[in-house]
């Protein structure tokens, strides 16, 4: 069983990786492996049957499954919009001041950049009028590295003035003394609902759910068990991180509730409509495989 993810070095999708490293897929009878694919490639591979699941931003499923036709979310990996705005430490910007990006070069990966553009729009910042240059981070040292960690390196080199990336990249920049967090939408910075534009989720196809529901259930149980085990013993996160993450990132993993809330789906689908990924409202039951919701509270290790 193949699970694609656009970022291996991130707290957002980490429970899918932890379930592999802690042997929990295997304990559920699955031979599962998490592999790195860019966001669009990942959902296209799911559509084409090349992978069985995608661990990524929930809204990105719509890139390959318009209107949620043919795919469903089965469990949350982490709650809330997983990206933060970090600017150079020497820029005189206050916490929550989105307008501080005017005239700056901001690194943002394809996919997450849509959430950043929506954040700017809702904050009254026009990238053209306000001369905000948004582009992928140039010159990463490792093509397989986390965008967040690469973004922190680019900030340190002066290649960008700031970035919109995951919490690991943000923490890396802060720890190195080269950046400061300006906007963390999950903690209430920025416009209302910005913290719920999307969330990290595990998606699969309706065809796999119909054909092999017990294998899908086993994957959900493994991830929920990983989250529960890591909450009880956070040191196990460091154990997994040291196997698969750069040393500076191994200590700073966070975990969240596996339940997929109806309000979270409503806001996420509204965000998808606002950026043109969804043409009309879609019901919760047409977005989420509700047959697995009873598994989201499994707590045994």
pLDDT < 70: residue spans in the chain: 9, 138-146, 234-256, 298-301
> What was the pLDDT predicted at 173?
92
154 neighbors 63 (Cβ within 8 angstroms): no
Q: Name the packing angle between helices 213-232 and 235-244 (round to 10°).
A: 120
Could you tell me where the DSSP H helices lie in the chain?
14-21, 24-27, 39-48, 112-122, 147-157, 167-176, 206-211, 213-232, 235-244, 262-274
> What was the pLDDT predicted at 99?
96
Q: If you write DSSP's letter for every residue of 202-260 in order, what string do you get?
A: EEEEHHHHHH-HHHHHHHHHHHHHHHHHHHH-THHHHHHHHHHS-GGGTT---------
> What was the pLDDT predicted at 239?
65
> What was the pLDDT predicted at 7?
80
pTM of this structure: 0.86
> What was the pLDDT predicted at 145?
53
């Amino acid at each position: 069983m193949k699970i694609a993810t656009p970022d291996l070095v991130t707290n957002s999708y980490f429970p899918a990786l932890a379930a592999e490293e802690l042997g929990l897929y295997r304990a559920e009878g699955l031979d599962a492996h998490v592999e790195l694919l860019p966001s669009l490639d990942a959902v296209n591979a799911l559509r084409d049957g090349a992978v069985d699941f995608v661990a990524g931003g929930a809204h990105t499923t719509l890139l390959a499954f318009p209107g949620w036709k043919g795919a469903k979310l089965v469990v949350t990996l982490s709650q809330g919009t997983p990206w933060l705005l970090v600017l150079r430490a020497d820029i005189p910007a206050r916490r929550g001041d989105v307008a501080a990006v005017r005239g700056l070069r901001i690194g943002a990966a394809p996919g997450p950049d849509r959430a950043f553009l929506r954040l700017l729009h809702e904050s009254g910042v026009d990238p053209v009028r306000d001369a905000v240059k948004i582009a992928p981070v140039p010159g990463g040292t490792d093509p397989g590295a986390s965008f967040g960690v690469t973004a922190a390196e680019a900030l340190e080199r002066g290649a960008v003035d700031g970035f919109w990336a995951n919490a690991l990249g943000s923490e890396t920049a802060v720890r190195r003394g080269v950046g400061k967090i300006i906007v963390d939408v999950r903690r209430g910075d920025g416009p209302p609902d910005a913290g719920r534009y999307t969330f990290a989720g595990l998606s699969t196809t309706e065809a796999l759910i119909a054909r092999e529901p017990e294998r899908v259930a086993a994957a959900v149980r493994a991830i929920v068990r990983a989250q529960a085990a890591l909450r009880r013993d956070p040191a196990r996160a460091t154990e997994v991180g040291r196997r698969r993450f750069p040393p500076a990132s191994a200590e700073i993993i966070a975990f969240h509730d596996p339940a997929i809330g109806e309000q979270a789906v409503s806001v996420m689908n509204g965000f998808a409509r606002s950026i043109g990924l969804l043409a009309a409202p879609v019901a919760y039951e047409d977005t989420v495989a509700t047959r697995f919701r009873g598994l989201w509270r499994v707590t045994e290790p």
